[in-house]
A and B are shown apart, each in its own frame.
Chain A
């Protein structure tokens, strides 16, 4: 319910903000005033804001119709444009998040367990680089060396081998995720490992493996889940550039183009989906918390019954 309300608010805000933005979709100097007027009329852009807003909402809610593209692909439905591109971007995002989280957690665990060792230093350096170097640098590096020089992967996106060609962008995007998760995981796990209940677990006679896998990792993961939200946002913004670099026909690429030509309906449509993803992610994170942390689970159960 709250999520739906949030979506509604976001949609409204977008509408207003775009209205305030200077420029119009029909900035072409070749167009005469009359022609522009005609175009405005055609797309109902001459109507007052309230009227357009209500019509737009009605269309979105009742028919799932996000309007048409003004300039990029004239008169094509935004929903149709997105339908082809959305899955590509979503897959790239999810892949990066999963790959990044898994590698990040692994690195973090190794660094924490072998604190102050070579591994730890390596992870720290890696984390600093991963967080501070923008993803397009990795993207360019990867596509140059692995794609162009070694020809291991397609150099740019190839629609006919989507899996192959999503590998490099996935890694470029997940660098940031790996670095962030690894750093977090290390800090949290180091703290857990020095806690009293770990001492008790050791005092029980559990061996190191059990102490780490059964008693420590889950507890260290709880705070790490929190960063998944901001990471998702990071992935979305990162994908804007990454899709450009690799020529991936996703929504990030489309959004960049749409903004530069003021194709309002596309901008709103994509922004809407970004918000939707973020809200979904927030829901998933919430659920994960419940699964992994009994304190929250028990509190919820108590509330419900």
Chain B
């Protein structure tokens, strides 16, 4: 498969009153053409910051200390402001978490779509308007002409998110970054939006980076999963690999804390403790302090990635040949057994 985006050794920090926040501490991943890569992790693990780097919309106090983002033969981290502005929205588009706040309340939704078209394609106003109405229809909104003239507050949350998606699709981007696009929506609407995204991906052949902390959603949309913790990716693999053969204790914790639909007798598991303070990132494996499976070396040296299969890697000392044989928690094992009977893709 063709690699469309490559992130190598990315380091990002933010200057704050209390010192430097090391938000991203060496992130590597590839994105292939037409796939959906999910990035999961707790709040504050650096998912949004990673995507903002790709878009070149990092906050003013943030800086890229090291690393590269290769796209289309360019290193996006080295581009001038003008150059990245030209790529943004045209080749890489983004949708955000909260549709209630991501549209400008004083502009018609039609104009907000049109704006993107006019910006990147040499369309006349009339052509652009026709195209915008087409897009409104494409994302599954009825009466597109009427909606075109309406303001965001006249639309429901689900419809607004569809408009945001229409804006993102306006210029046929090659990569779509979706930062928790369904978190703020209620469950039925959530399912519809996910369905829409999947459908559009097939129609247009987009590559999608899907940010979420909802593993249920991941199972539903992703081809591959990267698990992020404290500014690093700790494990990545295909959906099956991550859900059925996870290796990193953090991934175990995440999977164990997903509430089970069928089984109400099970108590809800929560990973103990809180993510580390990124002002002073811990030595070694950042997750060690919260992990019951931590080894001595976890507190001293950072684990490298160990290869499990061609597509599956995990950064944990448990995979080292000298490590004691430690297995995932029994409760998780039980669950996975159950899951294997059903197919994880259909929940």
Contacts and interface: CB of A to CB of B under 8 A. Distances in A.
Given A196-B102, A294-B151, A204 B164 contact: no
A27 interface: no
A196 B171 CA distance: 20
B106 A218 contact: yes
Most A CB contacts (10 A, CB to CB) among B86, B93, B104 go to B104
A213 to B, nearest CB: 13
Contacts of B145: none
Given A204-B88, A204-B116, A205-B119, A215 B55 contact: no
Interface of A: 195-197, 199-207, 214-215, 218-219, 222, 292-295, 298
Nearest to A198: B104
A265 B254 CA distance: 80
A201 B105 contact: no
A204 B102 contact: no
A201 B171 CA distance: 14
A203 B116 CA distance: 10
Nearest to A298: B151
Contacts of A295: 105-106, 151, 153
A203 B94 contact: yes
Contacts of A195: 101
A197 B86 contact: no
B167 A200 contact: yes
27 contacts: A196-B96, A196-B101, A196-B102, A197-B105, A200-B96, A200-B102, A201-B104, A202-B55, A202-B57, A203-B88, A203-B94, A204-B93, A204-B119, A205-B88, A205-B120, A205-B171, A206-B115, A206-B119, A215-B104, A219-B104, A222-B106, A294-B105, A295-B105, A295-B151, A295-B153, A298-B153, A298-B154
Contacts of B90: 205
B85 interface: yes
Most B CB contacts (10 A, CB to CB) among A204, A218, A294, A298 go to A204
Given A197-B102, A200-B102, A292-B106, 15 more contacts: A196-B96, A196-B101, A199-B96, A200-B96, A202-B55, A202-B57, A203-B55, A203-B89, A203-B93, A205-B86, A206-B85, A214-B115, A219-B105, A295-B105, A298-B151
Nearest to B152: A197
Contacts of B108: 294
Nearest to B51: A203
Interface in B95-146: 96-98, 101-108, 115-116, 119-120
B87 interface: yes
Nearest to A302: B154
Q: Which 6 A-B pairs have the closest CB atoms?
A: A205-B89, A196-B101, A204-B89, A205-B88, A196-B102, A203-B94
A197 B103 CA distance: 5
Contacts of B96: 196, 199-200, 203
Contacts of A201: 104
A15 to B, nearest CB: 45
